[in-house]
Amino acid sequence: MLRLLSTRSYAERIADASSGVTLLDLPRFARERFAFRGLCVSTEQLAGADEQTLLALREAGDKASCPTLALQEPAPLALAGLDVARAEEAQRRLLRVVRAAHLLGCSSLIVRLAPPEEEAGADATLDRLAARLRSCVEAAERLELNLLLAPTSGIFASSEGLSETIKKVGGFRMGSAPDFEAAAQAEDPADAVRQLTPYASCVIVSSLEFTPRGRHKAYDIVAMVRSLLELGYDGPIVIEHRGGGDPDKAVTHALACVDAALEEAQA
């Protein structure tokens, strides 16, 4: 499994001018501190960035042997609702993010979808979404970029809903990005991960809080990684800490959970 560090894990440190850590420093830091082989950059850290900034980040990643391999858009896009103006703005936003991912040299773009605010049948919602999303998928395909859906809420919260969305939209590079925190909301979290794994080109190993000895409190990260391995998944995983505390310790614990699952699988 290729391990990527999510820049969201260090959002507070990057935003703090007194920390001495900038986004351009993160590739070298991730490589030297944790031996990561790539980054998953969040658009939150790219607000106001121009093309020159994106290319500078790409160069920093190449020099550190820790390139930006994935870009993610955390804010859900309103592509499925009845409000045509909002949907068109979401399309334009997605196309801008597709271009940014290409400039960064990414192979995957992770996006999230906002459920429609109106009461509507699932079939009608998916039909609208597919019609609006296909042009964006085609743009991503032309740039050899995977467009991956991460879970959100409503119709897009469950593995079943995301799977149906992916099949409805279609496209060789349309897939999923299972998220451990989202999967933990299901009755069987490991099964929720397994359902999306066949469509996955990236998996978000999200964490919230660890005990001092490295056990994740909210859900069993080791069991979820084990479910990936059982299906033969060996693609990229994104280590993303979303809780408080020291991100260095949290990332270390998350990596240890991944290693524990790999050791179990090899035993």
Q: Return the C-alpha torsion angle 21, 6, 237, 206, nearest 10.
A: 120
The 10s digit of each residue's pLDDT in 136-171 is: 999 999 999 999 999 998 888 888 888 888 988 887
Short-list 258, 197, 236, CA closest to 108: 236
DSSP, res 19: G
E strand or H helix at 190: helix 189-196
Please say if the pLDDT value at position 88 is more than 90.
yes
| Average pLDDT value for residue range 184-191 | 87
> CB burial class (10 A; 0-12, 13-18, 19+) of residue 170?
exposed
Residue 82 within any structural domain of the chain: yes
Query: What is this structure's pTM?
Result: 0.94
Average pLDDT across the chain, whole number: 92
The residue from 143, 176, 209 where one domain ends is: 176
Domain co-membership, 164 together with 216? no
The CATH number covering residue 77 comes to 3.20.20.150
Domain co-membership, 146 together with 106? yes
Domain co-membership, 157 together with 183? no
Residue 165 within any structural domain of the chain: yes
Domain co-membership, 246 together with 153? no
Sole residue written with tokens 């906002």: 114
The whole-number pLDDT of residue 118 equals: 64
Domain co-membership, 185 together with 266? yes
Residue 122 within any structural domain of the chain: yes
Residue 169 within any structural domain of the chain: yes
Q: Would you place residue 181 in the very low, low, confident or very high pLDDT band (cuts 50, 70, 90)?
A: very high
The 10s digit of each residue's pLDDT in 110-119 is: 999 998 876 5
Q: Which domain holds residue 160?
A: 73-176
Residue 99 within any structural domain of the chain: yes
Domain co-membership, 155 together with 228? no
CA distance 106 to 52: 16
Residue 135 within any structural domain of the chain: yes
**Residue 205 β-bridge partners:** 239
CA distance 232 to 141: 25
The residue from 130, 154, 176 where one domain ends is: 176
**Domains of the chain: total:** 2
Token reading at 107: 């192979």
**Under a CB-based contact definition with an 8 Å cutoff, are residues 266 and 99 in contact?**
no
Residue 22 within any structural domain of the chain: no
Domain co-membership, 160 together with 188? no
Domain co-membership, 183 together with 163? no
Residue 59 within any structural domain of the chain: no
The whole-number pLDDT of residue 242 equals: 96
Q: Distances in Å between the alpha carbon of 160 and those of 74, 122, 199, 253? A: 21, 12, 12, 30
For residue 236, give every residue at least 6 positions away whose Cβ sits within 8 Å of its Cβ, in sequence order, or none.
Answer: 1, 2, 3, 4, 38, 69, 70, 108, 201, 202, 203
Domain co-membership, 128 together with 205? no
Domain co-membership, 128 together with 183? no
Q: Would you place residue 18 in the very low, low, confident or very high pLDDT band (cuts 50, 70, 90)?
A: confident
Q: Distances in Å between the alpha carbon of 96 and those of 14, 49, 85, 99? A: 23, 12, 17, 5
The residue from 176, 208, 233 where one domain ends is: 176
CA distance 61 to 214: 29
Domain co-membership, 152 together with 83? yes
Domain co-membership, 77 together with 171? yes
